[in-house]
Amino acid sequence: MREISPLQKERLNYKPKLAGALADGINNVKLTLGEKTTAVCDKEEIEKLFSHVYGKPIAKFDKVGIDLSNEPKNIGVILSGGQAPGGHNVIAGLFDALKSANSENKLYGFLGGPSGIVDGKYIELTSEIMDKYRNTGGFDIIGSGRTKLETEEQFKKALVVCKNLNIGAIVIIGGDDSNTNACLLAEWMLQNNTGISVIGCPKTIDGDLKNDQIEISFGFDTATKTYAELIGNIQRDANSAKKYWHFIKLMGRSASHVCLEAALQTQPNITLIGEEVEAKKQSLGEIVDYMAQIIAKRGNNGKNFGIALIPEGLIEFIPEMKVMIASLNDLLAGLEKNEAYKNASQEEKYQIITSKLDSQSAKLFNSLPIQIKAQLLMDRDPHGNVQVSKIETEKLLIEMVRKKLDEMKKEGKFQGKFSDQAHFFGYEGRCAMPSNFDADYCYSLGYNAFALVQSGLSGYLSSIKNTTKPASKWVAGGVPLTMMMNMEKRHGEMKPVIKKALVDLNGPVFRALEQNREKWAMNDCYIFPGAIQYFGPSEVCDNTTLTLQLEQENKLVNV
């Protein structure tokens, strides 16, 4: 039996394109530093916490044929947080750059995420190992984890491990929380004169780690195209059978970028955007009414089918739900060590919770179906928040919409039928084989991370800009991690974290949805994107997401 598919075999041989300034080799770039930076907000608090890395200038690399230092240097790499397509190529880019600089350089991969550097679990990554993972999905080359690096004890253990391996730099590949940890580690390493630099790489399929310097987080391109293929398949099925409404929840806990991009690629009948719900202060009942009205109107026109896209984090954007969940987060943080609560039955826990919530939140909590209550009280995520991916929002909406449609039918306002199917697309996209864009982008991010290390920088996030242009015109550089940070409440305490980028309701991406929403609701304007293509015309294989195109062009396109 063959060990890999023919496609994977071909992808292993794909040669990723490098960003312009990096294309001539790691020893032929020049570092240019801009003006000093500041934090996105909470400047005084961030500067106080990160006095050694705060305010650093934006970095940029140019092609000028000036050699960087090529003294032997060992580097450690960590994959942190949830998987995202292209992670292996970040490591491949890092590996190729350090070996190109000096063949004696070594790359150590810490196993199982950040805990690997604390516990001293690692492997040396060699060409033989690396060549088995190029252009593949997943994080299985060294594994990942969600251990937070934030304590003095952890930092000291990590330092011992690094000194034993003669490691001079650590590259952390992760999302906003992982790169917050990278910033904490960079600060500690500088404060203690360890000589070890720390560089981050922007990863998350959610698309919420971005700003003027970070145009897109890696994995977003591949994941949204994967989801769009699945949605397109379901739309074709719905348009064929003409008897089901498909409620599809899409990954994106804190922002609705994935849902918005998937909508632009497929043009469904209903698309909910969490940021819009919050801005309009819509209640759960108002959302249900909106959906029921569209379903009823289509049903009255003989169309008892349709597609509704729902962002994973919707429930936290509903103001009344957000207030209740925030209260629950604080409340449960205090009850974690309460033996009486821990030993109580589920019903008793509900009573304890409602007795401690304010009257409005208690009323809302009691109005929810039992299964939703149970999901709200599940173990928190590592940041102390409700695990919204385990809250079956799509099923909650189906149940409430069905109830509303029954009322409308009794009133003679709905003559159609309502049959439902529920889906949650999440893990299907996290480890997909990366698109050409993500393969190229990630390889450049890793290669660029080594250039930042070679330049003696620390506390930076690898940045590749101008990404809607051909790779030869991409701009390589780095953005200080503190530039993206603010203070947020975690586990009941104010903590420094990288600020998430939410959907801009005044931006061109949301406007593209807004201007087409009514037409897509009543008409079957479905687009069927099909599978990700790797071979063929560039406009098919190398195209970027509509989100990136619209944001960079800052104008509407014909979707």
First to last CA, the chain: 44
Nearest to 422 by CA among 389, 446, 400, 398: 398
Cβ atoms of 252 and 207 within 8 Å: the answer is yes
Q: Where are the alpha helices (DSSP H) in 131-219?
A: 152-164, 176-191
CA angle 548, 270, 280 (to 5 degrees): 80
Task: Give the three-state DSSP class for 274.
Answer: helix
Contact 47, 72 (CB under 8 A): no
The helix/strand/coil state of 464 is strand
Secondary structure element (H or E) that encloses residue 270, with its range: strand 270-271
Burial class (CB in 10 A: 0-12, 13-18, 19+), 187: buried
User: What is the Cα–Cα distance from 70 to 77, expressed in whole angstroms?
Assistant: 19
Calpha distance 293→396 (Å, rounded): 17
Q: How far is CA 203 from the centre of its chain?
A: 6
Report in angstroms the alpha-carbon separations of 48 from 91, 220, 247, 263.
33, 33, 47, 42
What positions carry a catalytic annotation? 206
- H or E stretch including 196? none
H/E run at residue 313: none
